[in-house]
């Protein structure tokens, strides 16, 4: 191969490499967080849900990128940019209540509360671990969305949120007690220190069985005002206290 051809081949390969690099979905370069923070429409508590929705979409873009779906990731980024720049998000979408109910029904879990037992009765089932005995410790992304089971291995629901940093050191997992992907209105408040977890960190277990679940009160409000109600917290936490 002549020097001229070698130089040309190198240039072509370099160009291909640059094209491939450009094809990747670069979420950091999109500066979505900066765009959210600099948009006056999205500032203030009234629009906090819109901001959470935008961040959820950004996380979805990260998921697409991790699976190599760069074109889909780019399309989602474009949609996020349009939502940030467009009219208030609360004015968008379908307000047909019947259609909304149908869409929510499609998200209902296939496994409901009190479902058949899991695998804790298997001979090779490894012991559960207390949260405070884990090494390394848990990340919030390992908890949110994880399934929660009762002490007798029945599905309770999924972790929907985490509350931490309380003055009295009592941190909580907010568990959707109606099953997976249900709304927060069916949530219960579980002290994190009461939970145990499987060794692969895929399932969390309550210290009470499914019958005792009937005594657990639902989270009283969606604004988390219950955090300042010491009497309610004491009654709720006592249900999950160790015998």
CATH number of the CATH domain containing 177: 2.30.30.240
Q: How far apart are CA 109 and CA 157, in angstroms?
A: 9
In this predicted model, what pLDDT tens digit does every residue of 113-129 receive, in sequence order?
Answer: 444 567 777 888 889 98
Q: Is the same domain home to 187 and 86?
A: no
- Could you tell me the pLDDT band of residue 84, with boundaries at 50, 70 and 90? confident
Q: Is the same domain home to 188 and 134?
A: yes
Q: How far apart are CA 238 and CA 240, in angstroms?
A: 5
Last residue of a domain, one of 41, 67, 90: 90
Residue range 181-191: mean pLDDT, rounded: 70
pLDDT score of 180:
44
Instruction: Tell me phi and psi for residue 172, to 5 degrees.
Output: -135, 150
Q: Which long-range contacts (CB under 8 A, 24 or more apart) does 213-219 make?
A: 213/113, 213/150, 213/156, 213/177, 215/239, 216/177, 216/188, 217/188, 218/177, 218/185, 218/186, 218/187, 218/188, 219/174, 219/184, 219/187, 219/188, 219/189
In this structure, is residue 123 part of a structural domain?
no
Q: Is the same domain home to 78 and 138?
A: no
Last residue of a domain, one of 32, 64, 90: 90
In this structure, is residue 194 part of a structural domain?
yes
Q: Is the same domain home to 178 and 81?
A: no
In this structure, is residue 161 part of a structural domain?
yes
Question: Does the pTM exceed 0.85?
Answer: no
Q: How far apart are CA 37 and CA 44, in angstroms?
A: 10
Cβ neighbors of 97 (< 8 A, separation 6 or more) are none
> What is the H or E stretch that residue 196 is in?
strand 196-197
Q: Is the same domain home to 141 and 196?
A: yes
Q: What angle do CA 40, 43, 47 make, to 5 degrees?
A: 115
Q: Is the same domain home to 135 and 203?
A: yes
In this structure, is residue 13 part of a structural domain?
no
Q: Write out the two tokens for 165.
A: 């940093």
Per-residue pLDDT at 15 exceeds 90:
no
In this structure, is residue 217 part of a structural domain?
yes
Instruction: Report the number of distinct structural domains present in the chain.
Output: 2
Q: Is the same domain home to 210 and 161?
A: yes
Q: Is the same domain home to 233 and 181?
A: yes
Q: Write out the two tokens for 150.
A: 């009762």
Q: Is the same domain home to 70 and 148?
A: no
In this structure, is residue 10 part of a structural domain?
no
Per-residue pLDDT at 169 exceeds 60:
yes
Q: Are 173 and 192 in contact (CB under 8 A)?
A: yes
In this structure, is residue 111 part of a structural domain?
no
Per-residue pLDDT at 39 exceeds 90:
no
Q: Are 22 and 15 in contact (CB under 8 A)?
A: no
Domain that holds residue 157: 129-239
DSSP labels for 114-172?
TPPP-STTSTTPPPPEEGGG-SSPPPHHHHTT-EEE-TTS-EEEEEEEEE---TTS--E
Q: Is the same domain home to 179 and 234?
A: yes
Last residue of a domain, one of 41, 65, 90: 90
In this structure, is residue 231 part of a structural domain?
yes
């Amino acid at each position: 191969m002549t020097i001229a051809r070698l130089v040309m081949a190198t240039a072509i390969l370099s160009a291909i490499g640059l094209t491939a690099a450009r094809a990747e979905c670069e979420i950091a370069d999109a500066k979505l967080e900066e765009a959210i923070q600099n948009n006056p429409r999205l500032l203030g508590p009234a629009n906090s849900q819109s901001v959470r929705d935008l961040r959820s979409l950004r996380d979805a873009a990260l998921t697409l990128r991790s699976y190599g779906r760069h074109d889909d990731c780019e399309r989602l980024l474009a949609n996020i940019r349009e939502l940030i720049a467009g009219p208030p998000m609360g004015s968008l979408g379908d307000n047909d209540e019947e259609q909304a109910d149908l869409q929510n029904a499609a998200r209902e879990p296939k496994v409901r509360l009190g479902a058949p037992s899991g695998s804790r009765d298997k001979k090779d089932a490894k012991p559960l671990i207390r949260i405070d005995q884990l090494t390394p410790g848990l990340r919030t992304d390992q908890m949110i969305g994880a399934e929660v089971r009762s002490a007798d291995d029945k599905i309770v629901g999924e972790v929907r949120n985490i509350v931490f940093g309380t003055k009295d050191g009592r941190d909580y997992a907010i568990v959707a007690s109606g099953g997976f992907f249900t709304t927060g209105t069916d949530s219960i408040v579980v002290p994190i220190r009461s939970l145990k977890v499987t060794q692969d960190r895929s399932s969390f277990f309550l210290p009470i069985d499914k019958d005792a679940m009937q005594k657990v009160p639902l989270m009283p409000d969606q604004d988390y005002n219950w955090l300042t109600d010491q009497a309610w917290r004491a009654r709720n936490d006592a249900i999950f206290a160790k015998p």
